[in-house]
Amino acid sequence: MAATARTRLQQAAVDLFGERGFDSTTAAEIAARAGVTERTFFRHFADKREVLFDGQAVLLEALLTGIETGARDAPPLDILFHAFRSVCPLLEANRPFSEPRQAVISATPSLQERELAKMAALAEALAQALRTRGIPEDRARLAARIGMAVLADVTLAWLSETGPSLRDRLDRAEQDLKALI
Amino acid sequence: MAATARTRLQQAAVDLFGERGFDSTTAAEIAARAGVTERTFFRHFADKREVLFDGQAVLLEALLTGIETGARDAPPLDILFHAFRSVCPLLEANRPFSEPRQAVISATPSLQERELAKMAALAEALAQALRTRGIPEDRARLAARIGMAVLADVTLAWLSETGPSLRDRLDRAEQDLKALI
DNA sequence: GTCCCCCTTGTCAGTGACTGACATTGGGAT
DNA sequence: ATCCCAATGTCAGTCACTGACAAGGGGGAC
């Protein structure tokens, strides 16, 4: 075993936030439960919120390869939806971790702020990937933002209600999107 | 004269943030320049960032009436773009204040986070307004998020570059959006 | 005019997030 | 055995933010 300090800190944080709430949990308490010092906590995570946002990198990588494997000259939104579908298994696998995490975030305004920021960064990376596939700058950014909005909407609904699978929800959202225009 | 303490605080904050940057300016310094106490600062604004986000209410009101005066059974995005166009004069009038404010925000990650949160709230309010006009829930939320993404994109470009008017940029964005699908 | 009331501000003490500087330690490479 | 470096501990300090209580001052009731 001997989980790394970083991992123990993440686990301790999720547990404590779930028990007492984010605001009523101090960084020192998290560190104590993980068996380290408060100072060590802040060496691993830039701030108290960041301890909950560490999976983004993996998701980003998966999305980028999903974009690369899309049809060569499809419209940008089709490329994005193809990428989204390609990461469904990853997201489904992470659900046991994502669900409690999302519960804490949904209950804490300052964490929602951070999540929005992370998604904006993700959208920016997606736009960059679209650009390298020949989509003009403005259109790439617009498509990326729309795509992220849809993905966020869909995954939030998927995590908070029981019902259709992530993939089915994505298909339906794509229909809705096309009907919008 | 005798501007209210709240107003003096806002002015002092914009000035100091512009001079030294957001992070190198303490709440106490802002209060001092405004001739009040740090405690008074935090009675007027929930936190240090909030002092820069006080115009949202006005914009929201304008957008809501813009939505109400739209064509009765137009598609949701058309309703939104009509509302966006209706607030162009307001935004153009506020430009002298918005421009330095936006410069500070663009230079400060934590302020960008707050701005994203404000926009998300605005999008939620827009979605609600669309719902009361008979648009089904899912579609209303999706349209509102897309609309806000476009509005944000357009106003940011308009504030940071010289070039087309806000209204012209909106028209062009609407074209791009329709071309996307 | 006087009294009363409420709204705004000041004062003070305290908590907790976060940082910089410096000391310690415990393997891993040589 | 020695050197080294990476992670951690220790300590002191700054600053955002809060609760409790006191003080002032203008406006209405009488």
pLDDT band at A107; cut points 50, 70, 90: very high
Protein footprint on strand C: which nucleotides are under 7 Å from a CB? 8-13, 16-21
State how far Cα A55 lies from the chain centre: 7
A120 touches chain B (CB under 8 A): yes
Tell me which residues of chain B have a pLDDT lower than 70.
1-2, 181
Q: Is residue A72 scored above 90 in pLDDT? A: no
Tell me whether the CATH fold assigned to B5-50 matches the one assigned to B54-179.
no
- Work out if B37's Cβ lies within 7 angstroms of strand C: yes
Q: Where are the domains of chain B?
A: 5-50, 54-179
CA distance A123 to A141: 8
pLDDT tens digits for range A16-37: 999 999 999 999 999 999 999 9
Determine the average pLDDT of the residues in A57-83: 92
Test mutation, A145, A151, A168, chain B, max B CBs within 10 A: A145
- Work out if B102's Cβ lies within 7 angstroms of strand D: no
Residue among A19, A75, A82, A24 at smallest CA distance from A48: A24
CA distance A140 to A142: 5
Counting Cα atoms < 13 Å in the Cβ hemisphere of B49 gives 15
Taking C1' of C12 and every protein CA, the nearest residue is: B39
Q: Is residue A1 scored above 60 in pLDDT? A: no
Percentage of residues in chain A with pLDDT exceeding 90? 81
DSSP assignment of A49-72, as one string?
GGGG--SHHHHHHHHHHHHHTS-T
Distance A19 CA to C22 C1' (A): 37
Q: Is residue A122 scored above 90 in pLDDT? A: yes
CA distance A41 to A26: 11
A146 touches chain B (CB under 8 A): yes
Q: According to the 3-state scheme, what is the secondary structure of B72-102?
A: CCCCHHHHHHHHHHHCHHHHHHHHHHHHHHH
- Work out if A146's Cβ lies within 7 angstroms of strand C: no
CATH of domain A55-179: 1.10.357.10
Query: Any residues with CB less than 8 A from the CB of A32 and at least 6 apart, and which?
Result: none
Please tell me the CATH superfamily of domain B54-179, with its number: Tetracycline Repressor, domain 2 (1.10.357.10)
pLDDT tens digits for range B125-169: 999 999 999 899 888 988 998 899 899 989 999 999 999 999 999
Q: Yes or no: say if B14 and B101 are a contact pair by the CB < 8 Å rule.
A: yes
How far is the alpha carbon of A157 from chain B, nearest alpha carbon, in Å? 11
Output the six-digit token pair for A102. Answer: 């999302």
Pick the CATH number of A5-50 from 3.10.20.520, 3.30.1340.30, 1.10.10.60, 1.10.1240.10: 1.10.10.60
Q: Characterize A57-69 residue by residue with b for buried, 16 or more Cβ atoms within 10 angstroms of its Cβ, and e for exposed.
A: eebbebbbebbee
pLDDT at position A2 is: 59
B181 touches chain A (CB under 8 A): yes
